[in-house]
Structure 1
Amino acid sequence: MTAQRQERNGWRPGLAFIALAGLAAMADLVAARAATTERVVVDRTTGLALGGFDPVAYFTESRAMAGRPGLEVSEAGAVWRFRNEGNRAFFVRHPEIYGPQFGGYDPIELTRGVAYAGDPRFWLISGQRLFLFGRTETRDAFAADPARFAREAGRRWPGVQETLAR
């Protein structure tokens, strides 16, 4: 490559580095949007629990389904969205059943004493309760022995809750 071409093209590696650094910063910002200082995991910018997914749909549809903005309920310091009136009514009557266990924090991480926000896309229903996980690996580990991990997370949860904001 000629010296003139090197001068003309020399900025490209620097631009690529800046772009990658910007993408990494954005990924950290997205990860930080889920508040880990709350007793229920909520999106800091919207106040939504479960990223706007309907908590009852995990049980009735066996999948994560987006709730509607017009069908909302405030409960436990979070805004919950629902796909229909029936799901909203079920939740209002029994938020302890349909809301995620441990406020939506990953139970595998709780067994280590860490409050790690679960992702509503990584979920599992066990013992008629909804559990959220931060990664597929922790969901798979939990699925291998749900009773043991739920029991251990339940034992650690009160101590972890004390570290979270009220």
Structure 2
Amino acid sequence: MMMLRLIAIIPALILALASIARAEPAPDINLGYFNKLAMNGYDVMTYWNDGDPKKGDPDIQAAYKGATWVFISDENRAAFMADPAHFAPQYGGYCAYAASQNAVADVDPFAWRIWNDKLYLNYSPKVRREWASDIDDNISKAEGFWPALLENQ
């Protein structure tokens, strides 16, 4: 009886493992696990304006690169949409240090830095310190892996 149950379960396990192996590549823009918003729902312009990350208002949205971005004001939305490639974080909002290691990782919205007029996010404050120990070299490494590394995730 137990052997019949195991035999019945095996095809389901094989299908589950096959679906994991065919997983879609990571999206171009890092989307929050729970809200599916770019920047985990933070207004990207608050990083640029006053360096104090703030959650955006879900009623003030814009679409860019297939993702929904939210803002605290219509002015911030307009500023972003005037040059989204400039204001959007590097590496699609994934961790800059992970990208330098040929990997993809989520970010902490408070672990960030603007360097050479570009916004970079990191997994945590500790990881940001590691990334910042040699920013230029880490950026150079990440640029070598990006965006192809998304296809391998």
Aligned equivalents of 2:46, 2:90: Cα separation in 1:
15
Other-structure match for 2:94: 105
Q: Could you tell me which amino acid in structure 2 is paired with residue 85 of structure 1? A: D
Distance in 2 (alpha carbons) for counterparts of 1:81 and 1:45: 15
Partner of 2:26: 37
User: Matches of 2:91 and 2:29 in 1, distance apart?
Assistant: 8
Q: How does 1:78-117 map to 2 (within 5 A)?
A: 78-117=67-106
Q: Distance in 2 between matches of 1:86 and 1:163?
A: 37
Could you tell me how far 1:44 is from its partner in structure 2?
4.2
CA-to-aligned-CA distance 1:9-58 (integer Å, 9 cap, x gap): xxxxxxxxxxxxxxxxxxxxxxxxxxx82111002443211121110110
Residues 98 and 105 of structure 2 are in contact (CA less than 8 Å); yes or no, is this contact kept in structure 1?
Answer: yes
Counterparts of 1:1-166 in structure 2, within 5 Å, are 37-163=26-152
Contact 1:104–1:118 (CA<8 Å) still a contact in 2?
yes
> Which amino acid counterpart does residue 116 of structure 1 have in structure 2?
A
Whether contact under 8 Å (1:50, 1:119) holds in the other structure is no
Identity of aligned residues (%): 26
Structure 1 runs (4+) greater than 3 angstroms displaced? none
**What SS does structure 2 have at the residue aligned with 1:69?**
strand
| Unmatched runs of 5 consecutive residues or more in structure 1 | 1-35
Name stretches of at least 5 consecutive residues in structure 2 with no aligned partner. 1-24
Query: How many residues of Structure 1 are paired with residues of Structure 2 in the alignment?
Result: 129
